[in-house]
Structure 1
Amino acid sequence: MRRTTDLVEAWVALVALLLILVVTPVAGAVIGSFAQGALQKSVRDQQRTRHLVPATVVKKLNRSPLEPDPESSTTRDARSRVLADWTAPDGTAQHGTLLADLKSPHRGDHFTVWTDDHGRIVARPLDSVTATTHAVLAGFGAAMMTVGLIEGGRRLIVWRMVRRRYARWDQAWDKAGPDWGRTGTGS
């Protein structure tokens, strides 16, 4: 015995499966492609505007009173807080407190820092491989979100169908009355 709602539920499941198989890869590829384009543009912009310049230690400073993570020995041991001089790409002399990749810096030691065009310290520019990795992750995330939305939609439809089915059963029981199945009630 097959109810109409069972057939509809099977069709909803089939449509959801087909949507997952077709729409998910397309959504992942489209979002990944957009992310790749935007991130590669950012890579080019950062590589054009960020420069690796030499800096010279003026003096070693005490450790920062507020360590970002006092338990992290690798960060503490690998970098030293120093007062340094460097020349910006635009030719201006700069002076300030930096973190140097020197274990025991001394006056006159040299190290490199990333700066913008005006000599302000900036983070290392994004590289192409990292940008591609982020784009792939964005595409994968979009694909998984698409699967979640389709499956959530399927479950919502089935839930509403089951609620309607139960409501119809309740109406049928109410119509049959409280005496259904008892002897002498005319049923």
Structure 2
Amino acid sequence: MGAIRGLWRWRRNPLRRATDLVEAWLALAVLLLVLVAAPVLGALVGSVAQDALQRSVREQRADRHIVTATVVKKLKGAEFEPDPDSSTAQEVRSRVLADWTAPDGTARHGAVMASLNTPHKGDHFTLWTDQHGLIVARPLDSATATTHAVLAGFGAALLTAGLVDSGRRFVLWRMVRRRYARWDRAWERAGPDWGRTGTGS
């Protein structure tokens, strides 16, 4: 908004100072950067983030496997807790002792979180593991990766616009300080008795 107001300095006015014209050019440059450079930079950042995240999606899909585990017993004192990886906050998991077979054929046994409300011995549930059967997080899905990339691009565009406008404000602040310094020097040259009769001012 300040950049748009700065364009008003171009209007013809006998009192227009050289700094007013500089401010107008600065406002135009900032406006062009915000309207052109910020979206372009945002698109580039979003594209790079999309490539990196989709590559991560492919790698996770190749490295992580879903296996079926069998409940041996529910661990005493285990409380239900929300699954942070689930799409709904209503899904709960409970801590159980379970057996499962890793993708490489290794038998595994240990305490895990099962997506079961009331687990009983022999109940089956699924787990995400690596090739050796170690528990891993659910792989990132393509849609979520795209959402993150879009947000990264949007954030980069906003950050660019903010930095450009901050630069404009800093330059204007310096210009105003110099203007005030010139006024102070002019007042000092005028002397303490300016405006008195017979002083020639």
TM-score where L is the length of structure 2: 0.86
Q: Which amino acid aligns with 1:157?
A: V
Provide the residue aligned with 2:108 in structure 1. 94
Mapped pair 1:178 → 2:192:
yes
Q: Secondary structure at the match of 2:98?
A: strand
- Assess if the C-alpha contact under 8 Å between 1:63 and 1:80 holds in 2: no
Moved segments of 4+, more than 4 Å: 74-77
State which of 112, 115, 124 in structure 1 corresponds to 2:129: 115
State which of 133, 140, 156 in structure 2 corresponds to 1:142: 156
Q: For structure 1, which runs of at least 5 residues remain unmatched after alignment?
A: 69-73
Q: Which amino acid aligns with 1:163?
A: R
Measured in 2, the distance between the counterparts of 1:64 and 1:10 equals: 67
Deviation by residue 1:135-174 (Cα, 9 ceiling, x = unmatched)? 0000000000000110011001111000000000001001
- Assess if the C-alpha contact under 8 Å between 1:39 and 1:135 holds in 2: yes
Measured in 1, the distance between the counterparts of 2:50 and 2:102 equals: 31
RMSD over equivalenced CA pairs, Å: 1.7
Measured in 1, the distance between the counterparts of 2:78 and 2:36 equals: 54
Identity value in percent: 71
Deviation by residue 1:40-84 (Cα, 9 ceiling, x = unmatched)? 00000000000000000000013448x79xxxxx97972111000
Q: Which amino acid aligns with 2:146?
A: T
TM-score where L is the length of structure 1: 0.92
Larger RCO (CA under 8 A, 6+ residues apart)? 1
Equivalent positions of 1:14-163 (< 5 A) are: 14-64=28-78, 78-163=92-177
Deviation by residue 1:73-112 (Cα, 9 ceiling, x = unmatched)? x979721110000000011011111111111111110000
Q: Which amino acid aligns with 1:55?
A: A
> Deviation at 1:183?
1.6
Measured in 2, the distance between the counterparts of 1:75 and 1:148 equals: 35
- Assess if the C-alpha contact under 8 Å between 1:80 and 1:101 holds in 2: yes
Q: Secondary structure at the match of 2:111?
A: strand
Q: Secondary structure at the match of 2:19?
A: helix
Measured in 2, the distance between the counterparts of 1:40 and 1:103 equals: 34
> Deviation at 1:184?
2.7
In structure 2, relative to structure 1, the CA distance for the partners of 1:15 and 1:157 (3 Å cut) is same
- Assess if the C-alpha contact under 8 Å between 1:90 and 1:118 holds in 2: yes
- Assess if the C-alpha contact under 8 Å between 1:82 and 1:98 holds in 2: yes
Measured in 1, the distance between the counterparts of 2:105 and 2:99 equals: 13
